Amino acid sequence: MPKAALLKRLDELHAELNSVRDLDAESIEALQRLAGDIRNLVEGPPVEPSQGEALGASLREQIEQLESEYPLATRLLSQMTDVLGLLGI
């Protein structure tokens, strides 16, 4: 179930990114790259703990940058962080 929930949040984040018009190109690219990394992590073979830790750090960094301006994107990223924790990543 956690993987399905994470993939659902990724789809929601992707839709949110497509609807945001005032987010700078660099932030959109970073979020899309992060979403791709998460999808690869969930759908691919098991990863080393260090890879999961690096991904978690990237998620937290993006959350901090987006908190005030994009609450929905921030909420989705926070939920993905929670699900990754449930997966042991």
* DSSP letters for 21-36: SSS-HHHHHHHHHHHH
What is the phi/psi pair of residue 46, to 5°? -55, 150
Residue 1, pLDDT above cutoff 60: no
Number of domains forming the structure of the chain? 1
* Arithmetic mean of pLDDT, 54-71: 78
pTM: 0.60
Averaged pLDDT score across all residues of the chain = 77
Q: What is the pLDDT at residue 42?
A: 77
For residue range 29-58, what is the model confidence (pLDDT) as tens digits? 877 777 787 777 778 787 777 877 887 787
Structural domain range at position 65 = 2-86
Q: What is residue 45's predicted lDDT score, i.e. its pLDDT?
A: 81
Query: Cα separation of 64 and 72, whole Å?
Result: 13
Q: Compute φ and ψ for 60, nearest 5 degrees.
A: -60, -40
Q: Is the pLDDT of residue 84 over 60?
A: yes
